[in-house]
A and B are shown apart, each in its own frame.
Chain A
Amino acid sequence: MKGLPPVLITAIVLVAGFAICAMQFPNIASTRVVGNLLTDNAFLGIVATGMTFVIISGGIDLSVGSVIGFTTVFVALAIERWGVPPLVAFMAILALSAAFGAAMGAVIHVFDLPPFIVTLAGMFLARGASFLLSTESVPITAPVYSTVSDFALRMPGGGRLTAIAIIMLVIVIGGALLLHLTRFGANVYALGGSRTTASLMGVAVGKMTIKIYMLSSLLAGIAGIVFSFYTSAGYSLSAVGVELDSIAAVVIGGTLLTGGQGSVIGTFLGVLIQGMIQTYINFDGTLSSWWTKIATGVLLFAFIALQQGLVALARRPVAKSAGAAS
């Protein structure tokens, strides 16, 4: 609603890009490819949903990639080495990551520190902790994993909507509802507008900050579990740089990096755009996969420039009336 024009542009970019891809490789326009795209980017979609909340509230969370890495290692070791039932391992890691996020939020609020620094510390901490657990890739052979990996809804056209893709879609939809329809969501926007003002207007800024980072870390934990399903392994070096991919998805999705405006749906579209570029490169076969990064970088630039333009446009009438209030 608030971020409609940028979201619309993101949607247009996605549709246009998809059309171009489909013209060159007609096979791309199949449920099979789309299903794979959703599966391949499931963890990114989940973590980017959390990042959307953080960024709209005026913060940033650099720790999510490390939390994913830690989660995969923790889950793999718990199931394979320590003999913990998978479900218990999942619950434990989710509780752990939620507590981790809450702690970061508390530090940010209580000591009035920049989220960038606090979550940067969190990023090193979580990554370091996962190395401490294990430096090698731990394969997961639990039956649950093959069951979940094999599960998929058949889509018309032969595509498979896998379990992890479904989890991602549910989280994206749930996130969108939470952000746009609840009091919590409204407070997230309020915090992004101005923390002081929000606090004067009665928003419990401290509690909100803690909850927002808790949500982000919790979703990173879920993304970690999903990632472990995706790779059937736990590895301390997995998901390096995912925090940046998810920030990119959020910004391409039309969320203002300075906070106060944005949407979960936009972020989802941003994830799809990144996935689409990856798919195109796979289809082409001759291009290096690093072209994904280059294309994402170019898009990111374009969107930031676009947002600045829109912000400038939005401010113009205000500036005029302020100037007129001479």
Chain B
Amino acid sequence: MENSLDPALPLLEVRGISKSFGAVRALQEVDFTLRAGEIHALLGENGAGKSTLIKVVTGVFARDAGIVRLGGEEVAPRSAKAALQAGIATVYQEVNLLPNLSVAQNLFLDRQPMRFGIVREGEMRRRAKALLADFGLDIDVAAPLGNYSVAIQHVTAIARAVDLSARVLILDEPTASLDRHEVEILFRIMRQLAKRGIGIVFVSHFLDQVYEISDRITVLRNGRLVGERETASLPRLELIRMMLGRELAETTSARAATREHQAREVCASFENYGKAGYVAPFSLELRHGEVVGLAGLLGSGRTETARLVFGAERADGGQARVEGAPVRLQSPRDGVRHGFGYCPEERKTDGIVAELSVRENIVLALQAKRGLHRPLSRREQDEIARRYVKMLDIRPPDPERPVGLLSGGNQQKVLLARWLATSPRLLVLDEPTRGIDVGAHAEIIRLIRELCDDGLALLVISSELDEIVTYSDRVVVLRDRAHIEELAGEAIDVGNILAAIAADGAAVALEAHT
């Protein structure tokens, strides 16, 4: 099949696609061209139309106008299944496989090798093993998929898609939940597939990864095509300009002016705080008007620290104090009572209530804090919602819109607003910029600084060291579920953090998580 393809002839051609949802024009006459054997990054801010484009191409949404040609022939799939049969496969960030079935069943569901109406389990496993071996994976294919890491589930999903004779493979944010080592495995597989003549569409927010892997880049903005470029000849600043439509210096690499270190009041402190098998005992002081960053590799104990601090997890030793007074933090309720707020990493599962409106989501924590017998009047709710929608620039500025319909960045802002409405003294943010586009990224970082200037104490987790360096007054470095170093002032830079992480045993930690 691949041999018959003229490399000059595009594999997937999208021409003049438009799509509106009511009055909102999500896509306007967008063109997109994918060649066989290339890795093509599809970029844009949240709300630029990437997801809509993918869903139109894969038949999840019906399009209003335009055509899609695959290998020169016009296709109009009307469901994801039809798209798959046509040869367009999509692997989403949330892996769409069945964790309760075995890896082999997942690979061959509905097309198992059969004999006399019986699934040939042995043959199926053998084929599954061979298929995964192609991707450098040697695992027990009879075990339930849910037993394996997200990375392996991703590879399984890709293997299934490719084996279904996919010619176009769309990877929507495939790396968001993978660690560095797993990303490398994925990239190796992507290159391998591209060599076989498969066209790969790569959607990602990680520009480093885009530059590392992609051949060409298409940028969308506000539902329109901005341009299509060769990756090699597109400077990063130019790319960001295309995405944002404005000059944006790459601010996040340099530390904002070091702020003077006056003695600030301690907001909360933790002495020898820890939990066996969870995080080794640590001591941590969080001061008003100060951002403390938590840096470390995956699984180093960052989220675990945050959960202990908030009370989502019980410590089995040590002493916590709030404004100097000893307190017990046994549940998130305790945390809220002492004026703590926690924005978890998993927005969708642990944070927002997608069906409820922006207003309802914002007042949730405040109402819980007041207790059910003191309901907030509708007027108060409207007031609060309007204030935060304005203050955090939540878009669209409609407090009655279900949060599920907002983009990731705006959902994050709603979460922030929820906790800010409770007037907390300490706010814990776990990966506040994860899955958010460049523009919203900078905005969230600006917000973090502003909140801090208002006297709030902040504990922020991020995988992006540049970012941590930008806003932190102190950085706690973690490794193997222990706090190993605290950097302050001039000592905070990416190099020092990396040095602390890499000091030793880091490689081991990485391996343990693959």
A265 nearest CB across to chain B (Å)? 17
- If A181-B119, A183-B119 touch, whether A321 touches B513 (CB-CB below 8 Å) is yes
A325 touches B114 (CB 8 A): no
- If A186-B109, A325-B150 touch, whether A2 touches B144 (CB-CB below 8 Å) is yes
B98 touches A324 (CB 8 A): no
B267 within 8 A of A: no
B482 within 8 A of A: no
The answer for the CA separation of A326 and B101 in the assembled complex, in Å, is 26
B474 nearest CB across to chain A (Å)? 19
B117 touches A260 (CB 8 A): no
B303 touches A182 (CB 8 A): no
- If A190-B101, A260-B100, A325-B150 touch, whether A199 touches B119 (CB-CB below 8 Å) is no
A186 touches B101 (CB 8 A): yes
Which of A182, A317, A318 is close to B117, meaning CB atoms less than 8 Å apart? A182
Instruction: Identify the closest chain B residue to A193 (Cβ).
Output: B98
Which of A182, A185, A201, A325 is close to B298, meaning CB atoms less than 8 Å apart? A325
Count of interface residues, chain B, beta-carbon cutoff 8 Å:
43
Which residues of A, 170-205, contact B by the 8 Å Cβ criterion? 177, 181-183, 185-187, 189-190, 192-194, 197-203
The answer for the CA separation of A201 and B80 in the assembled complex, in Å, is 9
- If A325-B298, A326-B298 touch, whether A261 touches B100 (CB-CB below 8 Å) is yes
Which of B81, B150, B513 is close to A199, meaning CB atoms less than 8 Å apart? B81
B154 within 8 A of A: no
B50 nearest CB across to chain A (Å)? 19
The answer for the CA separation of A314 and B143 in the assembled complex, in Å, is 12
Instruction: Identify the closest chain A residue to B512 (Cβ).
Output: A324
Instruction: Identify the closest chain A residue to B102 (Cβ).
Output: A2
A201 touches B119 (CB 8 A): no
- If A186-B112, A197-B97, A201-B96 touch, whether A324 touches B81 (CB-CB below 8 Å) is no
- If A183-B112, A318-B146 touch, whether A325 touches B81 (CB-CB below 8 Å) is no
Which of A185, A189, A325 is close to B179, meaning CB atoms less than 8 Å apart? A325
A39 nearest CB across to chain B (Å)? 31
B431 within 8 A of A: yes
B345 within 8 A of A: yes
B299 within 8 A of A: yes
B99 nearest CB across to chain A (Å)? 7
B118 within 8 A of A: yes
Instruction: Identify the closest chain A residue to B302 (Cβ).
Output: A326
Task: Classify the interface of chain A: helix, strand, loop or mixed.
Answer: helix
A323 within 8 A of B: yes
B415 within 8 A of A: no
Contact indicator per residue, chain B 99-119, by CB within 8 Å of chain A (1) or not (0): 111100110011110100111
A193 touches B100 (CB 8 A): yes
A324 touches B119 (CB 8 A): no
A186 touches B105 (CB 8 A): yes
A197 touches B298 (CB 8 A): no
A322 within 8 A of B: yes
Instruction: Identify the closest chain B residue to A185 (Cβ).
Output: B119
The answer for the CA separation of A36 and B121 in the assembled complex, in Å, is 37
A314 touches B298 (CB 8 A): no
B177 within 8 A of A: yes
The answer for the CA separation of A202 and B150 in the assembled complex, in Å, is 22
The answer for the CA separation of A201 and B98 in the assembled complex, in Å, is 9
B430 within 8 A of A: yes
Contact indicator per residue, chain B 414-456, by CB within 8 Å of chain A (1) or not (0): 0000000000000000110000000000000000000000000
B84 touches A202 (CB 8 A): yes
B interface list, Cβ under 8 A from A: 80-81, 84, 96-102, 105-106, 109-112, 114, 117-119, 121, 144, 146-147, 149-150, 160, 177-179, 298-299, 302-304, 307, 345-346, 430-431, 461, 463, 513
* Cβ contacts A to B, 5 pairs, < 8 Å: A182-B119, A190-B101, A201-B109, A203-B109, A325-B178
4 additional contacts, CB 8 Å, given A190-B105, A193-B100, A324-B299? A183-B114, A260-B100, A326-B299, A326-B461
For the complex of A and B, the 5 pairs showing the least CB-CB separation, nearest first, are A324-B299, A193-B98, A260-B100, A326-B303, A193-B100
